[in-house]
Amino acid sequence: MRKHLLFLPVALFLIIFGVVTPAMADNTTPFFVVIDAGHGGKDPGYMPSSKKYNKEKEINLRISKKLGAYINENLPGVRVIYTRTSDKYLSLDERVAIANRNGRNGVFISVHCNGSPRRSSKGTETHIHSREFSSSVRLGTLVEEEFRTRAKRNSRGIKTKEDRNHNLQVLAETMMPGVLIETGFLSNPSEEKFLNSDHGQTLVASAIFRAFRSYYYGKVPPSARPSEPAQPAMATAKEKPATTTASTETKKYRVQVLATSEPVKLSDSRFKGVTVQEFQTQGTFKYKYVVGEASTPEEARKLAKQLKKKGFEGAFVVSL
Protein backbone atom coordinates (compact mmCIF):
# COMPACT_ATOMS: atom_id res chain seq x y z
CA MET A 1 0.00 0.00 0.00
CA ARG A 2 1.36 3.37 -0.93
CA LYS A 3 -0.40 6.69 -1.52
CA HIS A 4 -3.83 5.47 -0.54
CA LEU A 5 -2.73 5.40 3.11
CA LEU A 6 -3.27 8.36 5.40
CA PHE A 7 0.19 8.71 6.86
CA LEU A 8 0.60 10.09 10.36
CA PRO A 9 2.44 13.38 10.98
CA VAL A 10 4.27 12.22 14.11
CA ALA A 11 4.39 9.07 16.18
CA LEU A 12 2.60 10.67 19.12
CA PHE A 13 -0.52 11.10 17.04
CA LEU A 14 -1.35 7.53 16.03
CA ILE A 15 -4.98 6.99 15.25
CA ILE A 16 -7.63 4.96 16.96
CA PHE A 17 -10.54 3.96 14.85
CA GLY A 18 -13.48 1.56 14.49
CA VAL A 19 -15.84 0.01 12.04
CA VAL A 20 -19.58 0.32 11.78
CA THR A 21 -22.30 -2.10 10.90
CA PRO A 22 -25.05 -0.89 8.56
CA ALA A 23 -28.67 -0.57 9.55
CA MET A 24 -30.66 -3.55 8.38
CA ALA A 25 -32.16 -3.21 4.94
CA ASP A 26 -35.92 -3.11 4.60
CA ASN A 27 -38.34 -2.95 1.70
CA THR A 28 -37.98 0.82 1.31
CA THR A 29 -34.26 1.33 1.89
CA PRO A 30 -32.04 0.01 -0.93
CA PHE A 31 -28.85 -1.75 -0.01
CA PHE A 32 -25.85 -0.18 -1.73
CA VAL A 33 -22.20 -0.88 -2.37
CA VAL A 34 -19.68 1.89 -2.96
CA ILE A 35 -16.88 0.56 -5.19
CA ASP A 36 -13.76 2.67 -4.90
CA ALA A 37 -11.10 2.18 -7.55
CA GLY A 38 -7.94 3.27 -5.76
CA HIS A 39 -5.75 6.11 -7.07
CA GLY A 40 -6.54 7.80 -10.40
CA GLY A 41 -5.55 10.84 -12.43
CA LYS A 42 -2.34 12.43 -11.17
CA ASP A 43 -2.01 9.64 -8.58
CA PRO A 44 -0.95 6.52 -10.53
CA GLY A 45 -0.37 4.24 -7.56
CA TYR A 46 2.26 1.54 -8.01
CA MET A 47 4.17 1.91 -11.25
CA PRO A 48 4.64 -0.99 -13.71
CA SER A 49 7.94 -2.76 -14.24
CA SER A 50 7.77 -2.18 -18.01
CA LYS A 51 5.72 -0.36 -20.66
CA LYS A 52 3.84 -3.54 -21.53
CA TYR A 53 2.04 -3.41 -18.18
CA ASN A 54 -0.46 -0.98 -16.69
CA LYS A 55 -0.22 1.38 -13.74
CA GLU A 56 -1.99 0.37 -10.55
CA LYS A 57 -4.74 2.98 -11.04
CA GLU A 58 -5.72 1.35 -14.36
CA ILE A 59 -5.84 -2.18 -12.94
CA ASN A 60 -7.90 -1.00 -9.96
CA LEU A 61 -10.45 0.61 -12.27
CA ARG A 62 -10.81 -2.44 -14.52
CA ILE A 63 -11.37 -4.78 -11.58
CA SER A 64 -13.82 -2.32 -10.01
CA LYS A 65 -15.90 -2.07 -13.18
CA LYS A 66 -16.03 -5.84 -13.56
CA LEU A 67 -17.13 -6.16 -9.93
CA GLY A 68 -19.87 -3.57 -10.39
CA ALA A 69 -21.09 -5.27 -13.56
CA TYR A 70 -21.42 -8.63 -11.76
CA ILE A 71 -23.41 -7.03 -8.95
CA ASN A 72 -25.70 -5.10 -11.33
CA GLU A 73 -26.37 -8.23 -13.34
CA ASN A 74 -27.01 -10.63 -10.49
CA LEU A 75 -28.14 -8.64 -7.45
CA PRO A 76 -30.91 -6.24 -8.55
CA GLY A 77 -31.61 -5.38 -4.93
CA VAL A 78 -28.22 -3.66 -4.65
CA ARG A 79 -27.42 -0.18 -5.87
CA VAL A 80 -23.86 0.13 -7.20
CA ILE A 81 -22.07 3.44 -6.68
CA TYR A 82 -18.61 4.09 -8.12
CA THR A 83 -16.27 6.71 -6.72
CA ARG A 84 -14.79 6.96 -10.20
CA THR A 85 -15.43 5.36 -13.59
CA SER A 86 -12.58 7.04 -15.48
CA ASP A 87 -8.97 8.11 -14.96
CA LYS A 88 -9.98 10.82 -12.51
CA TYR A 89 -8.16 12.06 -9.44
CA LEU A 90 -10.18 12.03 -6.21
CA SER A 91 -8.94 13.08 -2.79
CA LEU A 92 -9.52 10.80 0.18
CA ASP A 93 -12.04 13.34 1.51
CA GLU A 94 -14.00 13.13 -1.75
CA ARG A 95 -14.08 9.34 -1.65
CA VAL A 96 -15.37 9.42 1.93
CA ALA A 97 -18.02 12.01 1.01
CA ILE A 98 -19.34 9.91 -1.89
CA ALA A 99 -19.80 6.96 0.46
CA ASN A 100 -21.32 8.88 3.36
CA ARG A 101 -23.92 10.77 1.36
CA ASN A 102 -25.61 7.43 0.70
CA GLY A 103 -26.16 6.63 4.38
CA ARG A 104 -25.30 3.55 6.42
CA ASN A 105 -27.25 0.82 4.66
CA GLY A 106 -24.48 -0.64 2.55
CA VAL A 107 -20.76 -1.38 2.36
CA PHE A 108 -17.61 0.29 1.08
CA ILE A 109 -15.13 -1.70 -1.05
CA SER A 110 -11.85 -0.09 -2.07
CA VAL A 111 -9.80 -1.94 -4.70
CA HIS A 112 -5.99 -1.69 -4.81
CA CYS A 113 -2.83 -3.52 -5.78
CA ASN A 114 0.11 -3.89 -3.42
CA GLY A 115 3.83 -3.31 -3.81
CA SER A 116 6.96 -4.14 -1.86
CA PRO A 117 10.75 -3.69 -2.13
CA ARG A 118 10.90 -7.49 -1.89
CA ARG A 119 10.03 -8.99 -5.28
CA SER A 120 9.21 -12.29 -3.57
CA SER A 121 6.29 -10.76 -1.60
CA LYS A 122 2.99 -12.07 -2.93
CA GLY A 123 -0.63 -12.61 -2.03
CA THR A 124 -3.85 -10.80 -1.24
CA GLU A 125 -4.73 -8.76 1.85
CA THR A 126 -8.02 -7.32 3.03
CA HIS A 127 -7.81 -4.35 5.38
CA ILE A 128 -10.46 -3.48 7.96
CA HIS A 129 -10.55 -1.22 11.00
CA SER A 130 -10.77 -3.64 13.90
CA ARG A 131 -11.89 -7.14 14.76
CA GLU A 132 -14.17 -5.62 17.39
CA PHE A 133 -16.78 -4.97 14.68
CA SER A 134 -18.34 -8.05 13.18
CA SER A 135 -19.64 -6.74 9.86
CA SER A 136 -16.29 -5.68 8.45
CA VAL A 137 -14.69 -8.85 9.82
CA ARG A 138 -17.38 -10.91 8.10
CA LEU A 139 -16.95 -9.20 4.73
CA GLY A 140 -13.16 -9.29 4.92
CA THR A 141 -13.17 -12.97 5.85
CA LEU A 142 -15.43 -13.82 2.93
CA VAL A 143 -13.18 -11.93 0.51
CA GLU A 144 -10.03 -13.74 1.63
CA GLU A 145 -11.83 -17.11 1.59
CA GLU A 146 -12.85 -16.55 -2.02
CA PHE A 147 -9.35 -15.48 -3.00
CA ARG A 148 -7.91 -18.60 -1.42
CA THR A 149 -10.49 -21.14 -2.59
CA ARG A 150 -11.91 -19.90 -5.91
CA ALA A 151 -9.22 -17.62 -7.29
CA LYS A 152 -6.43 -19.87 -5.93
CA ARG A 153 -4.41 -16.89 -4.69
CA ASN A 154 -2.04 -16.79 -1.76
CA SER A 155 -4.09 -15.18 1.02
CA ARG A 156 -2.23 -13.07 3.56
CA GLY A 157 -5.45 -12.65 5.52
CA ILE A 158 -7.17 -9.74 7.20
CA LYS A 159 -5.12 -6.76 8.38
CA THR A 160 -6.34 -4.52 11.20
CA LYS A 161 -5.26 -1.29 12.85
CA GLU A 162 -2.96 -3.30 15.14
CA ASP A 163 -1.25 -4.85 12.13
CA ARG A 164 -0.85 -1.57 10.27
CA ASN A 165 -0.18 0.69 13.25
CA HIS A 166 -1.64 3.54 11.22
CA ASN A 167 -4.98 4.69 9.84
CA LEU A 168 -6.69 4.39 6.47
CA GLN A 169 -8.92 7.42 6.03
CA VAL A 170 -11.29 5.81 3.54
CA LEU A 171 -12.15 3.21 6.18
CA ALA A 172 -11.95 5.38 9.30
CA GLU A 173 -14.36 8.08 8.13
CA THR A 174 -16.94 6.13 6.16
CA MET A 175 -20.15 5.39 8.04
CA MET A 176 -20.70 1.84 6.83
CA PRO A 177 -18.68 -1.39 7.04
CA GLY A 178 -15.74 -1.25 4.70
CA VAL A 179 -12.77 -3.16 3.34
CA LEU A 180 -9.70 -2.10 1.40
CA ILE A 181 -8.58 -5.00 -0.76
CA GLU A 182 -5.00 -5.49 -1.93
CA THR A 183 -5.47 -7.86 -4.87
CA GLY A 184 -1.79 -8.79 -5.20
CA PHE A 185 1.75 -7.44 -5.48
CA LEU A 186 2.67 -5.61 -8.67
CA SER A 187 6.27 -5.80 -7.46
CA ASN A 188 6.10 -9.60 -7.86
CA PRO A 189 6.68 -10.57 -11.53
CA SER A 190 4.15 -13.40 -11.63
CA GLU A 191 1.44 -11.43 -9.83
CA GLU A 192 2.05 -8.35 -11.99
CA LYS A 193 1.49 -10.50 -15.09
CA PHE A 194 -1.63 -12.07 -13.55
CA LEU A 195 -3.18 -8.75 -12.49
CA ASN A 196 -2.52 -7.20 -15.89
CA SER A 197 -4.36 -10.00 -17.68
CA ASP A 198 -8.08 -9.95 -18.39
CA HIS A 199 -8.29 -13.45 -16.96
CA GLY A 200 -6.66 -12.37 -13.71
CA GLN A 201 -8.85 -9.29 -13.37
CA THR A 202 -11.96 -11.35 -14.07
CA LEU A 203 -10.99 -13.97 -11.50
CA VAL A 204 -10.29 -11.34 -8.83
CA ALA A 205 -13.52 -9.42 -9.53
CA SER A 206 -15.50 -12.66 -9.47
CA ALA A 207 -14.04 -13.62 -6.10
CA ILE A 208 -14.92 -10.23 -4.58
CA PHE A 209 -18.41 -10.47 -6.07
CA ARG A 210 -19.04 -13.87 -4.55
CA ALA A 211 -17.84 -12.63 -1.17
CA PHE A 212 -20.10 -9.58 -1.34
CA ARG A 213 -23.05 -11.71 -2.46
CA SER A 214 -22.64 -14.00 0.55
CA TYR A 215 -22.41 -10.98 2.84
CA TYR A 216 -25.52 -9.42 1.25
CA TYR A 217 -27.50 -12.64 1.61
CA GLY A 218 -26.59 -12.65 5.29
CA LYS A 219 -27.79 -9.09 5.84
CA VAL A 220 -30.94 -8.88 3.74
CA PRO A 221 -33.73 -11.47 4.19
CA PRO A 222 -35.26 -13.01 1.05
CA SER A 223 -38.53 -11.11 1.61
CA ALA A 224 -36.67 -7.81 1.21
CA ARG A 225 -34.86 -8.74 -2.01
CA PRO A 226 -36.16 -8.30 -5.56
CA SER A 227 -36.15 -11.40 -7.74
CA GLU A 228 -32.64 -12.52 -8.58
CA PRO A 229 -31.24 -14.77 -11.30
CA ALA A 230 -31.36 -18.45 -10.42
CA GLN A 231 -27.73 -18.94 -11.47
CA PRO A 232 -25.49 -15.98 -10.53
CA ALA A 233 -22.55 -15.22 -12.78
CA MET A 234 -19.32 -17.03 -12.02
CA ALA A 235 -21.04 -19.25 -9.43
CA THR A 236 -20.10 -22.90 -9.05
CA ALA A 237 -22.64 -23.97 -6.46
CA LYS A 238 -25.90 -22.71 -5.06
CA GLU A 239 -25.41 -20.83 -1.81
CA LYS A 240 -27.86 -20.74 1.07
CA PRO A 241 -28.69 -17.32 2.54
CA ALA A 242 -27.27 -16.85 6.00
CA THR A 243 -29.54 -16.13 8.94
CA THR A 244 -30.24 -12.42 9.33
CA THR A 245 -29.48 -10.87 12.68
CA ALA A 246 -30.25 -7.42 14.00
CA SER A 247 -27.51 -4.81 13.94
CA THR A 248 -26.78 -2.57 16.89
CA GLU A 249 -23.31 -1.30 16.00
CA THR A 250 -22.92 2.44 15.50
CA LYS A 251 -19.99 4.67 14.84
CA LYS A 252 -19.00 7.68 16.89
CA TYR A 253 -16.46 10.29 15.87
CA ARG A 254 -14.12 12.02 18.27
CA VAL A 255 -10.99 14.16 18.03
CA GLN A 256 -7.68 12.72 19.18
CA VAL A 257 -5.26 15.16 20.79
CA LEU A 258 -2.59 12.85 22.22
CA ALA A 259 -1.25 9.28 22.13
CA THR A 260 1.35 7.99 24.60
CA SER A 261 3.09 4.78 25.61
CA GLU A 262 2.40 5.48 29.30
CA PRO A 263 -0.85 6.74 30.88
CA VAL A 264 -1.33 10.47 31.42
CA LYS A 265 -3.51 12.00 34.12
CA LEU A 266 -6.65 13.59 32.73
CA SER A 267 -5.80 16.66 34.83
CA ASP A 268 -2.46 17.05 33.01
CA SER A 269 -1.69 20.63 31.97
CA ARG A 270 -1.54 19.56 28.32
CA PHE A 271 -5.32 19.09 28.44
CA LYS A 272 -6.02 22.55 29.83
CA GLY A 273 -9.36 23.91 28.68
CA VAL A 274 -10.78 20.63 27.37
CA THR A 275 -12.37 17.47 28.75
CA VAL A 276 -10.62 14.35 27.53
CA GLN A 277 -11.35 10.63 27.58
CA GLU A 278 -8.74 7.90 27.67
CA PHE A 279 -8.89 4.79 25.51
CA GLN A 280 -6.43 1.91 25.55
CA THR A 281 -5.47 0.05 22.38
CA GLN A 282 -2.67 -2.25 21.27
CA GLY A 283 0.65 -1.01 19.95
CA THR A 284 3.48 1.14 21.25
CA PHE A 285 1.35 4.23 21.85
CA LYS A 286 -1.59 2.43 23.40
CA TYR A 287 -3.02 5.30 25.47
CA LYS A 288 -5.20 7.52 23.30
CA TYR A 289 -6.75 10.78 24.52
CA VAL A 290 -9.79 12.10 22.70
CA VAL A 291 -12.22 14.99 23.00
CA GLY A 292 -15.95 15.19 22.30
CA GLU A 293 -18.35 12.93 20.46
CA ALA A 294 -20.10 13.44 17.11
CA SER A 295 -22.35 11.34 14.92
CA THR A 296 -20.83 12.48 11.61
CA PRO A 297 -17.30 13.18 10.37
CA GLU A 298 -18.32 16.74 9.47
CA GLU A 299 -19.27 17.57 13.06
CA ALA A 300 -16.01 16.07 14.30
CA ARG A 301 -13.97 18.09 11.80
CA LYS A 302 -15.53 21.31 13.12
CA LEU A 303 -14.50 20.31 16.62
CA ALA A 304 -10.99 19.52 15.41
CA LYS A 305 -10.69 23.01 13.91
CA GLN A 306 -11.78 24.55 17.20
CA LEU A 307 -9.23 22.50 19.11
CA LYS A 308 -6.45 23.51 16.73
CA LYS A 309 -7.27 27.16 17.42
CA LYS A 310 -6.88 26.37 21.13
CA GLY A 311 -3.36 25.10 20.54
CA PHE A 312 -3.95 21.40 19.83
CA GLU A 313 -2.21 21.56 16.44
CA GLY A 314 -2.11 17.79 15.97
CA ALA A 315 -5.84 17.27 16.58
CA PHE A 316 -7.55 14.98 14.08
CA VAL A 317 -10.75 12.98 13.69
CA VAL A 318 -10.96 9.35 14.80
CA SER A 319 -13.88 6.94 14.89
CA LEU A 320 -14.92 4.58 17.68
Which tens digits make up the pLDDT trace of 252-298?
788 888 877 788 888 888 888 889 888 876 555 677 888 988 888 78
- Considering only residues 301 and 215, tell me which one the structure prediction assigns the higher pLDDT: 215
Binned at pLDDT 50, 70 and 90, residue 128 comes out as very high
Distances (CA, A) of 245 to 33, 104, 190, 195, 220: 19, 16, 42, 36, 9
Q: What is the pLDDT of residue 282?
A: 58
Residues 6+ apart with CB under 8 A from 235: 210
Q: What is the pLDDT of residue 228?
A: 54
Mean pLDDT in residue range 21-30: 48
Q: pLDDT by residue (tens digit) across 216-251?
A: 999 877 777 776 554 334 433 333 333 333 344 566
Quick check: pTM over 0.75? no
Distances (CA, A) of 101 to 95, 250, 285: 10, 16, 33
- Considering only residues 30 and 11, tell me which one the structure prediction assigns the higher pLDDT: 30
Q: What is the pLDDT of residue 48?
A: 97
| pLDDT for residue 53 is more than 80 | yes
pLDDT mean across residues, the chain = 82
Distances (CA, A) of 122 to 38, 115, 204: 19, 9, 15
- Considering only residues 164 and 41, tell me which one the structure prediction assigns the higher pLDDT: 41
Binned at pLDDT 50, 70 and 90, residue 203 comes out as very high
Instruction: Give 139-174 as a DSSP string.
Output: HHHHHHHHHHHTS---EEEEE-HHHHSSB-HHHHS-
Distance CA 224, CA 24 (A): 10
| pLDDT for residue 89 is more than 80 | yes
